[in-house]
Structure formats: structure tokens, C-alpha cells
Structure 1
């Protein structure tokens, strides 16, 4: 006490005692805190009880509206002959060969190999030059008006193209500006689509021998996909309805937490595409605050949806068994090419997130089972 002072010793005592005392207070009151508490020490004296107050934001109560017997539209999941033919044409497009045109001009759907350089008021600008660049006409890869002006042009001839950069173009120094591009087309390539025959069928799918077999398989796959899409649409419609019917005041801290989660998810998606968040900001002309503001409405909807589903889980006493969790772990293990035991170890034995996900699914299943499908 003489060495460190009474205040330091009291602070150590608070650090040791307070966490357990706070947890017990939460358990005794039955509240559900959703952020860190603001602690105020009311009394700390030698020989006396430690008295403190903790102010914390708690999970809000949800007033459920109608969630049983809701009507949902029946979704058409039939597959037509035209659907199958469209899928076949897409397969042909994916297996098309690019053949160099020996004569003729650029047409829609052709691919050109070109050199280009862009100029503003006669001066070349950074990032506006490319050599031996391949561009499919009609793909929309270049700024509006560029690709259209290449139609009708021939290889080996330099041409000038005049365009205006969009007002919302990612490079601010170019946004809304008029530019001229000098373009030299080296090659024009057209798509050569394969014939629709048995050989084509075998080339695109090792499991079939004939074109008719390929069509039958495509129809079956499309039917499965359409049925799944119809089921997903029904579930989404029910979720939206019960959320709209519910009443709840959402604390700002919950929206902020969800925004942070959405930002992490967005950054992970960018990384999968080989892009960083900073690079996205550069291209989009946004910053973190602008992006979060753009996401804020969706974050609020997510929070309200989750709170509503939690209220339904509580109202209907929905539960997840150990067997449910084990079955889900086995499904996930199969998906990731491992076994359930290894997956459990990877999760550190913590299956709370899996349990929460299963509970939400059970709540949505409950909505579906208690809904009315109307034509």
C-alpha cells in the first residue's frame, strides 16, 4: 500500500472482482446486453462491500405481428422447351472458337485485338493506353460509345473514336470529360459455334452419349434449379412479411455491429476477386463512411429480421438438438472434404454459430409450414 498507493490497490481489486460481479448481475436480472457496459463505482472502501452501477444497452423486445397463415404466391417452376434451347445456346457460346476473319469489318459479338491511346484536349492521359488488347464488341467492358464506334471498322486501319466519360467515372480527373482515342485494329475474330449434335453433347458432358440425353439432363437440372429458386423466393417473401409485421426499436449499437460485420463480408468478397478495399475505394470514388452509409438501410433490415426470427423461436419454443448439430457438422464436413471430428476441432469445439443458424432455419421452416400458397 505504501509502495503503490491505495488507489492502485483499489483499481487492482476492481479489475479482479468486477468482471465476475457483472456477469452474476446480468444472470440475476435476466437481461441480454448487446454492448460493453458503462461502469460507475459507487463505493469502494476497506472493509465495505464494493458497490457499482453498470449501464448497458439491452436487446430490445419484439412485438410480433401476424406470422402464421400468411399467404405467399405460388412460383412457377416449370421448364419449357425454350428454356432447354436457351441453355444449349449458352453451352454453344461457352464452347465457341474464335476464328480470325481474313476479310470483312467488325460486327457485334466479334472480338478485336487492338492498340489504343486516349487523349484529352490533345494530351495523352495516364491509364488510357493499351497494346494488343482483346475486346469483345457488345460486352460493355469499355466506356459507353467506344465499342459501338468500332462496328464497321476494318483491320489494319487507324481510326479515331470520340467518347464522353460518365459523370460517375471512378477516375475523377476523367469524369464527364470528352476524350479522343486513336485505335489500330490488328485482328478481328468471330465466334464459330459448334454444331448441335451427338459429338457436341459428348464434348460438353462426359456422362452423356447423345444430344437427346444432354437435353434430358439439362431439363432435369433446370427443373431442380427452378424448384429451389421457387422455394427460396417463398421463404424470402415470408421473412419479409413477418419482419414488416413486427414492431421493434433497434438500438444504434446493433446497427453499427451489423455494419461492421457487413464490411468484413464485403472485404472478404473483394479479396476473393483479387481486389483490396483500398483499391475499391479508388475505383468507386467512395470512402469507408460513404460505403457504410450505403449499407446502413440493409444493416437495419438484417437486424430487424434476426430479432423477429429470434422472437418466433422463443414464442414457438423451437429447439435444436445435439443430433441436429451433429448432422449439420457431417453435412458441412462432406462439403469441405473433411470429417465431422476435424471440423469440430477447427471450430475449437464451439458450435454456437451452427446452433444459431439451425434455429433460424427452423423458424423459417415453421413459417413455411404454417403458410398458405395462393395462385
Structure 2
């Protein structure tokens, strides 16, 4: 067996070998002898089956197993020559050449290794930024907003025209083509004008209406409305205004602070301001991270950290991009790609740069997660999906099962790891 091993770069290697047919035949003999001790063949006792019978019965399968064993030997010796251990391999080795003749088999095996990434200077790559500041005015406005949200609704004393921000207490019934439709009626429903809770145009037509007045409101259900029987339909609503409510006046003082800080001993307005300021600072910092710094940091890491990429991983990323593009193509366009290999290769190459950046980012985040001790357990992924589902009014369990069945959980988990890694690096910059 002649073996020639070549380390192409830090992430890819190729092992070439010439296997003689004598070696394959020797493997056939060895495998057949082993089978003769365990095989069940009619007319022979177990363990007493002649080798010649085994060869006749298993024929081509013996040859395939013998060749596979020879390939395994080529791989093992090649990796030993290259000083590559199995733990550093990524994916399955790829047989790129298998030329069989009467007296030999010429093979080439490609292997990919986990790239070695130098993270020594990674903290110096984190961009400089200033921690967002919060003004006293912003704190006061937020406390006022919280206080107003906490305040109870009260009926207005004088019968004035309604304006945006008022809460209308209404009876209504909806009709399409003169006929009432299911779910289109309610009594004493409290609707805050300007909230966008109802169909577009409904709330606008209540502005200027007074208590005890009756009006007819004409609207059109959106084309993407949840109900197929209502989507895109013109509707008429008979509406009676039973009352108008506004938020009661609130006093911003220590008593309010005690209500809003129930776990705090000796809660005061000054303490409330401190807590609100901290919350606003965190909100601003999170917004800065998500909208500007995290994308910028990841781009810098991909640009500045240099290492070799496993070819097959990049090819897989390109395959996914091509498949996604193909799903948006017409049958004629797909046919043209099938009949024109050069055009298909051109399409594949158009995705290479983005694929390489994506793969590089994945390896960098993975290496940083290990370096920083960042982990995201499946329970955390589940909690995140549950929370987002509840925020959008979905069934949390069904949402989780949907993502799981579709195979999205690993991608969600990786996205969460990426978010944690970038946040950790940015937080260290803030604290430095």
C-alpha cells in the first residue's frame, strides 16, 4: 500500500493511496474466515461453514467490505502521517477519487479539521463606544408614563367630544352586506382611541363623538386579516357611546414610589428615580448593542481574525444558499441550470464570499464561547421560545413543537450563543 499525505492548510488535508488487489483479496479472505465462524447457512452447523461457501453466498458484499477496510486503513495511516487525531476532524472524510483497475485501486480522501483560531488579541478588536447617558428629564417622563399606566380610568364629568387617548365605552354591532357577522358585536367595550386595537379607521371615526351619541362607522377589513370570511370585506358598524373615560390624575411622590417598589424598605421618590434611571440606561445600552455594536463587532471579528476554513463546510453553506435561490426560481430557470453546468457553477460562486463569512463567523463564535465559558442549554432555548410566543399571543407549547419538528432549535441555540458572546465582549469593554 503506497500512501501520500498532504496537509493543504490548517483546516484541510488530502490522503492519496494505491491499494493493490492482493491487499483487497487478503481482506476478503480474513472477513470470510470471520464470517464462517458466526454465519447461519442452511445445511451447515454454526461455526462450521466452509470459507468457499461464505465467499459464494456473500460474493460482492465481501468485496465491498474488503475495500472499505482497505480505505479505513488508508485513512488511519494517512492521519497518523499527518499527526491529525480523530477528535480534531470535522464531518466525514470524503472520497474524491476511487479508480479501480485489474491490479490496483487508486484513491484520494479529503479530510477537514477544526481550525485553530488565535484569540489572543480579540479584546482589542472590540470597538470603542460610550455608555449611553440618561437625563433627569427622561427619568421624569418615564415615571410619569408609569404612573399614568397605573392610574385608574374615571368617567369624564362634562360631556365633551372624544379625542385621541380617551377610552370610549361602546356598544357595537358589525354588518357585511347588511347581515350581522359572528364575533362582530359587544356591549360596554372599553376602547382606547389611538391604540390601534381595532380595524384601521374604526377608532379615527369615533374622535369628535360625544357620550350617548350613536354613529355608523364604515371600514374595510385588511387583506391579511386572520379570518378568511372577513379579509378584504367592507363592513358597517352601528356604534353607541355609553361613556368616556380618562386616566385619573396621579401624584408623583413617595407614596407612588412605595407602590412601584414593593420590595424596597423605605422606598422614596429619589430611590424610584435611581431605579428608573438604571432601567433606562440598560434599555439604551441594549438598543445600542443590538442595532449598532453587535453587527459591527461581528463584522470586525470576521475581517480581522484570519484562519483556514474546512472546504466541505463552506460547500454546504453554498449548497443551502443555492437551494434557497432555486426555491424562488421558475421551472425554466431551474431547467437551464440543470442543462448548463457552467451557469450552475457561476451561481454557486456568486454565494462563496457570503458563505465563507458565515462559516468563519460560526467558528469564531464557537471558539469564543469555549474561551469565555458561554453556554445556552436547551431549557433556556425553550424559555425564550415560550416568552416570545406569549408576547405575540401564540400557544407556547405549539410554537416550541413547531420549531423542534422543523429542526430549528440548533439554529436558535447558536443565535443565542452568538448574542451572549458578543454581549459578554461588549460588557467587558464597558467595565474596563
Report which stretch shifted further, 203-212 or 52-61: 52-61
1:210 aligns with 2:268: yes
1:77 aligns with 2:135: no
In 2: Cα distance, 1:228 partner to 1:124 partner: 48
TM-score, length-scaled by structure 1: 0.54
RMSD, aligned CA: 5.8
The corresponding residue for 1:234 is 293
Across the two proteins, how many residue pairs are aligned to each other?
Answer: 296
Residue 97 of structure 1 is aligned with which of 152, 162, 167?
152
Change (3 A) 1:254 1:23: farther
Change (3 A) 1:304 1:128: farther
Report which stretch shifted further, 249-258 or 104-113: 249-258
Query: How far off is 1:174 after superposition?
Result: 3.7
Change (3 A) 1:126 1:54: farther
1:25-76 CA deviation, whole Å, 9 max, x = no partner? 9977868555898999999xxxxxx9999999999999xxxx8976846345
Change (3 A) 1:7 1:301: same
Change (3 A) 1:26 1:203: farther
1:123 aligns with 2:179: yes
The corresponding residue for 2:247 is 191
1:242-281 CA deviation, whole Å, 9 max, x = no partner? 44789989757548989xxxxxxxxxxxxxxxxxxxxxxx
Change (3 A) 1:230 1:13: same
Change (3 A) 1:224 1:68: closer
* 8 A Cα contact 1:149 1:161, kept in partner: yes
SS at match of 2:163: coil
1:137 aligns with 2:190: no
Aligned positions of 1:256-271 closer than 5 A: none
* 8 A Cα contact 1:239 1:305, kept in partner: no
The corresponding residue for 1:151 is 207
* 8 A Cα contact 1:110 1:137, kept in partner: yes
* 8 A Cα contact 1:310 1:360, kept in partner: no
* 8 A Cα contact 1:34 1:254, kept in partner: no
In 1: Cα distance, 2:74 partner to 2:178 partner: 70
Query: How far off is 1:162 after superposition?
Result: 0.8
Query: How far off is 1:145 after superposition?
Result: 0.8
* 8 A Cα contact 1:165 1:174, kept in partner: yes
Residue 164 of structure 1 is aligned with which of 216, 220, 233?
220
1:308 aligns with 2:361: yes
Which has the higher Rg, Structure 1 or Structure 2?
2
* 8 A Cα contact 1:35 1:56, kept in partner: yes
1:160-213 CA deviation, whole Å, 9 max, x = no partner? 101123344344554443221122333332111421122112221132533233
In 2: Cα distance, 1:219 partner to 1:363 partner: 21
Structure with more relative contact order (C-alpha pairs < 8 Å, separation 6 or more): 1
Aligned positions of 1:3-82 closer than 5 A: 6=58, 33=90, 72=127, 74-75=129-130, 77-82=132-137
* 8 A Cα contact 1:320 1:358, kept in partner: no
TM-score, length-scaled by structure 2: 0.48
SS at match of 1:146: coil
The corresponding residue for 2:45 is none
Query: How far off is 1:88 after superposition?
Result: 0.7
SS at match of 2:175: strand
Query: How far off is 1:140 after superposition?
Result: 0.7
1:77-116 CA deviation, whole Å, 9 max, x = no partner? 1111121112112211221101134552433222233333
